[in-house]
Amino acid sequence: MSTYYASLLAESGILLLGALSVYIILATGQLSLGNGAFMGIGAYLSSYLTVALNVPLTLALVISAIAAGIIGAIVAFPALRLKGIYLAMATVGFGEMVRSFFLNFDAMGGSGGYRGMQHISVGYVWLWAGGVLIAVMLLERSRVWLEMQAVHDDETAAGLIGLNTTVTKIVAFGVGAAVAAISGGLFAHHNVYIEPANFGFDRSIEFVLAVILGGSTVGPGSLVGSLLLVFLPEFLRPIADWRLAAFGTLLIVVLLVRRQGILDRSLIRTLTFRRAAA
Amino acid sequence: MSNALLQLTGVTKTFGGIHALSGMVCEVPEGKIVGVIGPNGAGKTTLFNTITGAYRADAGEVKLKGVDVTQWPSYRIVREGIARTFQNIRLFGSMTVWEHLLVAQPHSESAWRRLLPISWANPAAQERAEEVMTFFGLTELRDRPAKSLPYGIQRKVEMARAVTARPKLLLLDEPVAGMNHDEAEEIRELMIRLRDTGLTILLIEHDMNFVMRLCDYLYVLDFGVLIAEGKPEDVRTNPVVLDAYLGKDN
């Protein structure tokens, strides 16, 4: 495998984690357009831990994930009062807040960025990405996931079957933030250089796009979306300047004909040759 | 000390200047089917919302088996043993019948059981869901998205979901609204079978004939005030009730 494809593969693994972080939060009916910020927190914190304090990378990732998870849960508290588009706007605000914090955070390079991380292999990236994907797919078959879906479908009814909807939403936000932080830590150690612009609004949108394109109702949809989002523009290179336009067109077409994204429950059943349920 | 399962004393709920409920007093004895009737806007649904914590009572007490639950959040009230259905059915749009029964299980499980796939980790939940599914005759429809089912069956799914967690008291908000005679009969039989399993039922209904043949005891509300109570045959002939339903005869 050429280094070129290896780096694309690593990029899609990092994007997969970002997409899953959005997916977990979306499963409770909350749309976060600020997960790039949690990614940034993970990137900066884990880089500081490995470069300045010589913490082993895996431990640094775990610490960053926990820290971002706590921040995510704290952010979720005020966000509980907001729904739909208003919540999405608030998360955009949060994202900008974090980005400008790092921009002015001179201790870690400010706008000049931060470097000195040890490069990691694509295999290590996918160990995390694959591990988290499998964990999410197992979680999807659990009762907790059904509870999240219940909150997503009808919050009032969820409360009246005895679910503490507040806790469900906050925990989902925290876990989503933690996964985004892992994505950020891997990004930092794969690129060995980070700057605040890496974790802005574009990044948050990219995560959401991967989920929506790949399939927002099943975990593996994020995998499909991440691979497409990274590799498709590359395969479209022959049409040179038009490739991004072609990509955009494709995105619109997918959303028009399949609102749930490419992958959904029934497609998975077909692909795995399981009998369709009535 | 009465042995009522549910006891309301002086429950009052106002919206702005409107008294949706004033000084509501009632008791639901264990193992009975009790009905709340009254014309539209009498405060019946407000009563349910107040009991289940969707609204906070402005005054008065709601007690379940002697425990004051008046100011509790709704999820705790449900866990204490009060389940309900809605006047306009509220099922989960993305779930099958089976998933509705799995998600509504009792809340005593350990965190690990909740996090692992149900098919490995939680035989008890599956057994309970199976049991409820059979009781309600939903087995054939197990993997159908609940919202794609006919109206009458959606009602049954909603009732089944409410019953799954083994509540002590089931609140049914107009369980036969919009149903034809046969469907309504089926629901009536279900309720009697549920009562025979030891469940206590409090239901709202404004079809008088339906409640007359079903309930052990009735409360009649009008403009948020309790205007009559008693056994169905007594309520039927009570002039105050007739006035509320048919208007005063001058």
Q: In this structure, which amino acid lies at residue B79?
A: R
Question: Cβ A142–B94 below 8 Å, yes or no?
Answer: no
Distance between CA atoms of residues A38 and A52, nearest Å: 21
Q: Which of B74, B86, B119 sits opposite A141 (nearest CB)?
A: B119
DSSP class of residue A223 equals: H
Whether B231 shows a pLDDT value over 70: the answer reads yes
Distance between CA atoms of residues A109 and A118, nearest Å: 17
- Tally Cβ neighbours within 10 Å of residue A161: 26
Whether B1 shows a pLDDT value over 50: the answer reads no
Convert B90-122 to b/e letters by CB count within 10 Å (16 or more is b): bbbebbbbbbbbbbbbeeeeeeebbebebeebb
Cβ pair B26, B215 in contact under 8 A:
no
- Mean pLDDT within B233-245: 84
Cβ pair A221, A262 in contact under 8 A:
yes
Judging contacts by C-beta atoms under 8 Å, the chain A residues touching residue B85 are: none
Please write the tens of the pLDDT for every residue from A114-158.
Answer: 999 999 999 999 999 999 999 999 999 999 999 999 999 999 899
Q: What is the pLDDT of residue A274?
A: 63
Interface test with A, best of B64, B92, B108, B119 (most A CBs within 10 A): B92
Coil, helix or strand at residue B104: coil
- Mean pLDDT within B141-147: 93
Cβ pair A163, B80 in contact under 8 A:
no
Cβ pair A146, B116 in contact under 8 A:
no
What is the token pair recorded at A213? 């394109």
Q: What is the pLDDT of residue B62?
A: 93
| B88 in contact with chain A, both atoms CB, cutoff 8 A | no
- Mean pLDDT within B215-229: 91
Q: Who has greater pLDDT, B200 or A83?
A: B200
Whether A198 shows a pLDDT value over 70: the answer reads yes
Q: What is the pLDDT of residue A58?
A: 96
Beta carbon pairs, A and B, within 8 Å: 89
What is the token pair recorded at B150? 């006919």
- Mean pLDDT within A6-34: 95
Whether A277 shows a pLDDT value over 50: the answer reads no
B209 to chain A, closest Cα gap in Å: 29
Q: What is the pLDDT of residue A244?
A: 76
Please write the tens of the pLDDT for every residue from A91-118.
Answer: 999 999 999 999 999 999 999 999 999 9
Q: Which of A146, A157, A159 sits opposite B102 (nearest CB)?
A: A146
Q: Which of B103, B107, B162 sits opposite A146 (nearest CB)?
A: B103
Q: Who's near A177: CB < 8 A, 6+ residues apart?
A: A21, A35, A38, A41, A68, A69, A71, A72, A73, A75
Task: Provide ipTM, 2 decimals.
Answer: 0.89
Coil, helix or strand at residue B87: coil
Cβ pair A91, A32 in contact under 8 A:
yes
For tokens 């019953």, what's the residue?
B163
A274 to chain B, closest Cα gap in Å: 13
Hey, which residues does B82 pair with through a beta bridge? B169
Whether A64 shows a pLDDT value over 70: the answer reads yes
> How far does Cα A116 stand from its chain's mean position?
25
Distance between CA atoms of residues A222 and A234, nearest Å: 19
Hey, which residues does B173 pair with through a beta bridge? B204
Q: In this structure, which amino acid lies at residue A88?
A: A
Please write the tens of the pLDDT for every residue from B55-79.
Answer: 889 999 999 998 999 999 989 999 9
- Mean pLDDT within A54-65: 97
Over chain A, what is the mean pLDDT? 92
pTM for this structure? 0.91
- Tally Cβ neighbours within 10 Å of residue A204: 30
Question: Cβ B115–A144 below 8 Å, yes or no?
Answer: yes
Question: Cβ A160–B117 below 8 Å, yes or no?
Answer: no
| B102 in contact with chain A, both atoms CB, cutoff 8 A | yes
Whether B109 shows a pLDDT value over 80: the answer reads no
Judging contacts by C-beta atoms under 8 Å, the chain B residues touching residue A138 are: 116-117
Q: How confident is the model at residue B4 (pLDDT cuts 50, 70, 90)?
A: confident
Q: What is the pLDDT of residue B70?
A: 92
- Mean pLDDT within A29-58: 96
Nearest residue on chain B to A166, alpha-carbon basis = B75
- Give which of B45, B51, B39, B37 is closest to B20, Cα–Cα: B45
Interface test with A, best of B48, B52, B56, B74 (most A CBs within 10 A): B74
Q: What is the pLDDT of residue B248?
A: 64
Coil, helix or strand at residue A271: helix
Of all residues in chain A, the percent with pLDDT exceeding 70 is 97
Over chain B, what is the mean pLDDT? 90
| A80 in contact with chain B, both atoms CB, cutoff 8 A | no
A187 to chain B, closest Cα gap in Å: 28
For tokens 């002015």, what's the residue?
A104
Q: How confident is the model at residue B249 (pLDDT cuts 50, 70, 90)?
A: low
Distance between CA atoms of residues B125 and B11, nearest Å: 36
Question: Cβ A149–B92 below 8 Å, yes or no?
Answer: yes
Whether A276 shows a pLDDT value over 60: the answer reads no
Cβ pair B95, B145 in contact under 8 A:
yes
Q: How confident is the model at residue B144 (pLDDT cuts 50, 70, 90)?
A: very high
Is residue B158 packed enough to be buried (19+ CB in 10 Å), middle (13-18) or exposed (0-12)?
Answer: buried
